Amino acid sequence: MRFKKNWILLFAFAFMLSTVLAGCGGKNADSGKTLIFGRGADSPKLDPAIVTDGESFRVTENIMETLVDYDKTTTNVKPGLAESWEKSKDGKTWTFHLRKGVKFHDGTQFNADAVVWNFERWMNRKDLPKKGDDFIYYGSMFGGFKGDKGHVIDSVKALDEYTVQFRLKKPQGPFLANLGMSPFAIASPKAVEKDPAEFARHPVGTGPFKFESWKKGDSISVVKNENYWQKGLPKLDKIIFKSIPDNSARLTALQSGDIDLMDGLNPDDAKTVEQNDQLQLFKRPPMNVGYLAFNMEKKPFDNKKVRLAINHAVNKEGLIKSFYADLAEPAKNPMPPSIWGYNDKVKEYDYDLTKAKQLLKEAGYEKGFKVEFWAMPEPRPYMPDGKKIAEYIQADLKKIGIDAKIVSPEWQTYLEKTQKGEHEMALLGWTGDNGDPDNFLYVLLDKDNTRIPAQNVAFYKSDKLHDVLIKAQQETDKKKRTELYEKAQEIIHEDAPWVPMVYATPPLAAQSYVKGYVPHPKGTESLENVDIVK
């Protein structure tokens, strides 16, 4: 009888164990539904208003929310923390009606006053965590800050507890789309006022997950918000964002079951994932550009013929074949074909070393020159291996007499120093935030955005381009805006502040039991609908 009881107890224990494990994610996950997301780099900071990188937004989008959101697979705007809105006929007054009963993770109330407080914080540059920080995206998307000549927002007022009114100095075509961007997520005023520096390490929002912990250089954990306003969500109990810098090592971790979902899959490994019935492959819709920026404030890149020479010396087709496994196409404009307003009539710089050498000769650099070439240390969606891609370009440049020394500081330093203009030429890229051409052309190449910290790291200053881009911002007719953006791309192509390199289709991979994950074109997404089903 004792023998039989022992077997019954053993069977019951095994059943309980299997039930618990069925809800777990990777091997190292805690009990409950825990998803481990493998990524290429840690987040520099977790206050979305002061960062520009996807690894920070990947986390903060799960913790904080914006007034409006985007559809699951497009950048079409839908309600977020605002249930509805209307604008005046002249396009200068926007009124938003907020959701009721929503609370921040610290228990304070989300309301119109909280929205006003956040926007006043950004426009007045208040409560910055430390010296050198700035609300860089706010300045880029809304024409600077309060007091600046081009600042678009005249006032933000609470009409009542759940109604906010924005008055603009002039119409802004991308205004509504801008409000859905990650940097404009609404923070708990109480948490920021208490300690802005601590908020950048421990964000407090209204989102489906709450911040739990951060092991610098290793992982960030968020846990389920039990009081989330969308009933039944999130489906997961916890997410661990695990930093694994090497793409191949990250895939190995997925194959061994140590992580559940990963981005930064080497394009060459996509077929391996497809052939494994324990895994699933995702392809993020392309809305990005990888580029090589010249610092036009430094010689010899103040010389247009030098910039054109390098454009003709980079073999984009060969680069794509070597590093992208055909999951990319050559770029010729600073925005991808997936964005409306793309100018396909622009003629690509052909790969022509003879022409490149001739241009260098005409510029007075017949014998070439030496240059520091900055290469990203971390994999990015538009550039799976920055260092190796830099080595490939380095070999191309050698053929025309340019001796490029590759430097690759750690990721946060890389971003900070390029934004200060300390580079000569640097590899970078951009994934669109809102589906509007303004988010590429104005943000990355307008003279307004050469202010430090700069988004325009080419430090390209064109009055002609600026006039076109500002007209396009103030125009609300999409057809007229399209014509202006097509003209803008022609100006940029003529001046050649970059080598536009690739438009990539980034592959991702997950365990077969991960359900409900949909990669968004903007490069990051909230994971409230993701589930683990074994």
Express each pLDDT in 179-228 by its tens digit. Answer: 999 999 999 999 999 999 999 999 999 999 999 999 999 999 999 999 99
As a whole number of angstroms, the distance between CA 415 and CA 409 comes to 9
**Closest to 336 (Cα-Cα) out of 502, 480, 173:** 502
Give the domain extent around 488.
Answer: 288-504
Tell me: do 108 and 232 sit in the same domain.
no
Residue 27 inside a domain? The answer is no
Cis peptide upstream of residue 129 (ω within 30 degrees of 0): no
Tell me: do 488 and 513 sit in the same domain.
no
Q: What is the number of other CB atoms lying within 10 angstroms of the CB of residue 256?
A: 10
**Closest to 234 (Cα-Cα) out of 208, 207, 204:** 208
φ, ψ dihedrals at 25, nearest 5°: -100, -125
For the stretch 270-292, pLDDT in tens is 999 999 999 999 999 999 999 99
Residue 201 inside a domain? The answer is no
Residue 446 inside a domain? The answer is yes
**Closest to 91 (Cα-Cα) out of 491, 475, 508:** 475
DSSP string covering 2-37: HHHHHHHHHHHHHHHHHHHHHT--STT--SSSEEEE
Using the predicted structure, report yes or no on whether residue 20 has a pLDDT greater than 50.
no
Alpha helices (H) in 363-499, listed in sequence order: 386-398, 411-419, 438-445, 463-474, 478-495
Tell me: do 306 and 417 sit in the same domain.
yes
Gyration radius from the chain CA atoms: 24
pTM: 0.87
Tell me: do 146 and 228 sit in the same domain.
no
Tell me: do 458 and 419 sit in the same domain.
yes
SS3 content of the chain, % helix, strand, coil (to 5): 35, 20, 45
Tell me: do 493 and 513 sit in the same domain.
no
pLDDT at 70: 97
Residues 401-426: what's their mean pLDDT? 96
**AA identity, residue 81:** L
Tell me: do 151 and 173 sit in the same domain.
yes
Tell me: do 416 and 492 sit in the same domain.
yes
Residues 38-48: what's their mean pLDDT? 96
Tell me: do 349 and 436 sit in the same domain.
yes
Tell me: do 236 and 292 sit in the same domain.
no
Task: Tell me the CATH number at 522.
Answer: 3.40.190.10
The number of distinct structural domains making up the chain is: 3
Using the predicted structure, report yes or no on whether residue 1 has a pLDDT greater than 50.
no
pLDDT at 337: 97
Residue 55 inside a domain? The answer is no
Tell me: do 321 and 457 sit in the same domain.
yes
Task: Tell me the CATH number at 301.
Answer: 3.10.105.10
Residue 458 inside a domain? The answer is yes
Tell me: do 397 and 309 sit in the same domain.
yes
Place of tokens 């057809």: 479
Last residue of a domain, one of 191, 226, 257: 191
Could you tell me whether strands 238-243 and 261-262 are parallel, antiparallel, or unpaired per DSSP bridges? Answer: unpaired
Residue 465 inside a domain? The answer is yes
